[in-house]
Amino acid sequence: MKHRTRIYFSAEQRADIWDRWQHGESMSSIGRLFERESSSIYPILASSGGIRPPTRKRSRFALSLSEREEISRGVARKQSIRGIALQIKRSPSTISRELTRNGGYDSYRASAADQAAWDRAHRPKRCKLARRRSLAKVVAAKLQQQWSPQQIAGWLKRQHPDREHERVSHETIYRSLYIQARGVLKKELQACLRTQRAIRRSKHASLKRQGLGKITNAVSIKDRPASVEDRAVPGHWEGDLIGGTHNSYIATLVERHSRYVMLAKIEKKDAETVAAALIKHAQRLPTELYQSLTWDRGTEMAKHQHFTLATDIAVYFCDPKSPWQRGSNENTNRLLRQYLPKGTDLSRHTQAQLNTVARQLNERPRKTLDYETPAEKFHACVAATG
């Protein structure tokens, strides 16, 4: 069996790999450019958790290689330290330290000294969580409660508005999780993130989605009132189904104004079952807080007219293959996968268990709500209608 020779990527090739990864290309696509499998690309990206290492730069005050070569030539000519310093326009003390730390006057070599200086400069500053262990413990505890790094950072900012040393950015949290060389947050905490990926993925990476079916007598989202669009008025919801193994499904409902979440157990995906479950759920809320529902083009909502007749709730449908028109619901479905992973049997969850999951989501602060929780926002709406 013929084995391929091991490939060594040059600095330019590694830079190209990182550029493509940051622009959302898959490892398989990148690997094909070098006629290699994705397994050849993975070690390069995984070494820093999918986060591109910063480009190292030398200080403008540091000696350059050309200056070190001038020092070496001066040494070869037996020039004095002051004579060399005058020639390259540096202080004599700079030349003296340079010679002392690199073997002395008689053993100085420019290339070796330059490489040694580069190696000595590789002393990364300890990150904030490494310096403040008490803050790291708070972050770890919140991650274990299924809070996202962005939610943790926003919550800390609200809790300590005037104490910068008690706050940390979400980017620092991500880097401490994915770059294990920092030794701050345990790798096991990655499982607390909603994606549970081994390495960080580019925000430009695309997500595939299957086409959806046709709905008769559907009212387009374009006909939805403007008051629904600007989220100023509570009572307008977005909905969808998320699926699991063995044809198991759960209905997800998100209120646009407060991002409040409700989950409904669905026995089957047929239109009659879905409509009955949504009608039952709608009857739990005051009329003022459930005025419309926006859904995608899935055929499970084919009985939308029956739903509207039973609840007096208007149903609007998104354009085909336009999930961004239900942005709050799409984001919530991603959050839910942290609790209800893909590839699991969703029918095993009781309605009580689903209510617990919804409550946990509703008690997590949201950036879009200025780090208030959906529960706080929604309960204020309930109080106002009462």
* Lookup result for tokens 């002395």: 104
- Name the strand (E) or helix (H) holding 73: helix 65-76
Kindly provide the b/e burial profile for residues 38-48, where b requires at least 16 CB atoms within 10 angstroms of the residue's own CB.
eebbbebbeeb
CATH number for domain 221-385, candidates 3.30.420.10, 3.40.50.300, 3.40.50.720, 3.90.1150.10 = 3.30.420.10
> Residue-wise pLDDT tens for the chain (386 aa)?
445 556 678 888 888 888 888 887 888 878 877 777 777 888 888 777 787 877 777 888 889 999 999 999 999 999 999 999 999 999 999 999 999 999 898 889 999 999 888 888 766 667 788 888 889 899 989 988 889 889 999 999 999 988 888 899 888 888 888 776 566 787 778 777 777 676 777 666 644 443 334 678 889 998 898 888 888 889 999 999 998 888 889 999 999 999 999 999 998 888 999 999 999 999 888 888 999 999 988 889 999 999 999 999 999 999 877 888 899 999 999 999 889 988 888 999 999 999 999 999 999 999 989 999 999 999 998 888 76
With 0-12 / 13-18 / 19 or more C-beta atoms within 10 angstroms meaning exposed / middle / buried, residue 65 is: middle
* Lookup result for tokens 């290492």: 53
Q: Would the pTM of this model clear 0.85, i.e. be above it? A: no
Q: How many CB atoms lie within 10 A of CB 89?
A: 7
Alpha carbon separation from 310 to 221, 240, 266, 289, 306 (Å, rounded)? 21, 19, 18, 16, 6
Quote the CA–CA distance of 110 and 71 in Å, as a whole number: 8
